[in-house]
Amino acid sequence: MTLITTVLAFLLALGPLIIFHELGHYTVARLCGVKVLRFSVGMGKVVWSRRFGPDQTEWAVSMLPLGGYVKMLDARDPDAPAMNEADLQREFTRQNVWRRIAIVAAGPLANFLLAIVLFAALAMAGTVEPSTRLRAPAEKSVAYQAGLRGGEKVAAVNGKAVASWTELRWEIMQAIVDKRDARLDVTQPQGGQFGAILPASALKGLDVEGDLLAALGLDMARPKPVIEKIIAGGPGERAGLQVGDLVTAIDGQPVIDGIAVIEAIRAANGRSLALSLERAGAPVTASVKPEFDAARKAWVIKIVTSSMPEQVTVTSGPVEAVAKAAAKTWDTSVLSVKMIGQHDYRRSLVEKRHRSDHHCRLRGTDRAHGPLGVFGLHRLHQHQSGRDESVTNSGAGWGAFAVLFAGSFDRTPLARTDWGIRAARRNRPAGPADGPRCLQRRRPAPVDRSYPTKNLP
| Phi, psi (rounded to 5 degrees) for 343 | -95, 155
* Residue-by-residue DSSP string for 24-55: HHHHHHHHTTPPEEEEEEEEEEEEEEEEETTT
- Among this protein's residues, is 22 annotated catalytic? yes
410/105 Cα distance (integer angstroms): 10
Residues 6+ apart with CB under 8 A from 393: 1, 9, 381, 382, 385
CB 149 within 8 A of CB 133: no
CB atoms within 10 A of CB 376: 10
Task: State the amino acid at position 189 in one-letter form.
Answer: P
Task: State the amino acid at position 14 in one-letter form.
Answer: L
92/279 Cα distance (integer angstroms): 79
CB atoms within 10 A of CB 248: 16
CB 176 within 8 A of CB 383: no
270/244 Cα distance (integer angstroms): 25
Residues 6+ apart with CB under 8 A from 442: 423
306/320 Cα distance (integer angstroms): 35
Task: Name the catalytic one among 22, 91, 129, 152.
Answer: 22
321/341 Cα distance (integer angstroms): 30
CB 241 within 8 A of CB 289: no
CB atoms within 10 A of CB 44: 12
CB atoms within 10 A of CB 290: 22
Nearest by Cα to 362 from 25, 9, 1, 24? 25
Give catalytic residues, as residue numbers.
22
